[in-house]
Structures are given as C-alpha cells and as structure tokens.
Amino acid sequence: MAAMSTPLSVRLEALLMPRAVGFLGQVLLAGLALLRGRGRFRARDLARVLADAGARALPIITVVNLLVGAIFAFVGAVQLVKFGAGIFVADLVAISVSREMAAVITAVVMAGRTGASFAAELATMQTNEEVDALEVLGLDAVDYLVLPRVIALVSMMPLLYIYACFMGLLGGMAVGTGMLDLAHTAYLDRSFDALTWAHVGLGLSKSLVFGMLIAMTGCYSGLYAQRNAAGVGSATTKAVVAGIVGVIVLDSGFAICANALGL
C-alpha cells in the first residue's frame, strides 16, 4: 500500500537518480582514461563538434550579447544621468557583463542551440539502434559519443565567454557614446578600470561549469531517450529545460559562494 500511495513523479525520480549519477561517473572515468592516452573517439568527430559549438555559434552570440550590453547601458544611463554620473554606465556594463551576463546569457543560448542538438542527435541514433551497433562492436557510447561533446563544449565556452564580454562592452559603449555623448577613450578607460581579474576569473569559472553541465544534460537526455519519434522531441525538450534551469541554479550557487568569499 505504501508503494501504491507514492506519487509517480517521486518513484520516477528515485529510479532516474542512480542512472544520472552512474552516467556522471562514466563520463569522469572516460575523461581520466583520455588523460592517460586511452581515448576511444575519432578526432574528426571532435573537430566537427568543436566547429559546431564554436565558430558556428558566433553569429547568435554576437547579436545577443551586443543587445544585452546595450540594454544594461540604456537602463543604467536613464538612472545615473539624473545624478550627473553618466560615466559610471561604463562601470555598470563592464562589471555586470564580465561577472554575470556574458557567462549566463551565452550558456542559455548554447543550451538552446548546442545542448538541444546533442540531445536530438543522440536520441535519433538511439531510435535507429546505432548506439546498440556501437556496443556490439565493443565501442562504449560514453567514450565514443559523449566524451568528445563534453570536451568540445568545455573547451569552447571560455572562449565564447571572452568573446561575449567584448560584444557586451561594445554594445554598452554604443549606447554610452551615442546617448550620453561620452568620449570613446573615456568610456574604455573607465571600463578597463572597473574590470578586475576577480570578475573575469569568476566569469571564466562559470563558463567552464556551464559548458560541462549543458553538454552532459544534452548527451544524457539523448542517450536515454525513448526509441520513437516522440522520444526525440521529448529528449530535446528535456535537454533545453534541464540545461537552462541548471545554469540558473548553478549561477545562484556561484553568487552565494562569491559573496561569502568577498569577491
């Protein structure tokens, strides 16, 4: 009777949690094997995923972060200009972009773009029984399919973060110089004075963790998808939702830790 009274969602969570922990352990062990020179994936697969998660993501990263920097500058200018402190818009944009928005917005975009792509691709392979074929050939799916995607996204996210910071600063400078008539040199000097290694280091740390989270949620959702057409769509949805929610939760954890450490 107790088992019958347990909600279905709770029972499903109890079943899925050990599998998720096991998946994490498999990825970590595969990473350790790679460090020992025993990687089992093809280099051209890694190169393809690197290009997809890197260069091909630049257009949308550019547009989104330019607009985010411009929005922050506009909102700050509306308030700061009342006190004759318009130059401090540069500080606002530099700190908010480098510390929070560049990493978070880039991660959200990559969760909707690359994380969904990972989930759809692996779910389709699962439906077509290609993953089973790899197992028959003695190739572990985690080594051959998951690890190159995790490596690619973890490698690309810090680079995308740095690029996003520049785009956010450019968007803020466009508003600051156009709306407040600030000199370009004064705006840039103020921005680089506000930037510290603590802000940039915090953003880089976030981007690394976010990249691992997005890659693993996408691969996990795809690798354990139902073997039908609906399962592909469901896996893609789960990857995007889990990736975005996970990014927000981790970012709040980073904020609490940074506050406790005085960063």
Residue 221 is part of which domain span?
49-258
Domain total of the chain: 1
Distance CA(160)–CA(55), nearest Å, equals: 9
Q: Is residue 84 part of a domain?
A: yes
Q: Is the pLDDT of residue 64 over 70?
A: yes
How far is Cα of residue 21 from the mean position of the Cα atoms in its chain? 20
pLDDT of 101-159, one tens digit each? 899 999 999 998 888 888 888 888 888 877 778 777 777 777 788 888 888 898 899 99
Return the residue matching tokens 């330019």: 66
Contact by Cβ (8 Å): 211, 87: no
Any domain includes 156: yes
Asked if residue 17 is part of any domain, the answer here is no
Q: Is residue 12 domain-resident?
A: no
Is residue 107 in a domain? yes
DSSP 129: T
The alpha carbon dihedral of 19, 20, 25, 27 has a sign of positive
Which residue from 15, 18, 25, 9 is spatially nearest to 216, judged by alpha carbons? 25
Residue 18 lies inside a defined structural domain of this protein: no
- Give CA–CA dist 165/167, Å, rounded: 5
Rounded Cα–Cα distance for residues 169 and 93 (Å): 7
Q: pLDDT for 6-62, tens place per residue?
A: 454 444 444 456 777 777 777 777 777 777 767 677 778 788 888 888 888 899 999
d(CA 237, CA 131): 21
Tell me, yes or no, whether 21 lies in a domain: no
**pTM score, two decimals?**
0.84
How high is the pLDDT of residue 31?
A: 72
Q: What are phi and psi of 6, to 5 degrees?
A: -70, 130
Q: Flag whether 139 is in a domain.
A: yes
CA atoms of 216 and 34, how far apart (whole Å): 17
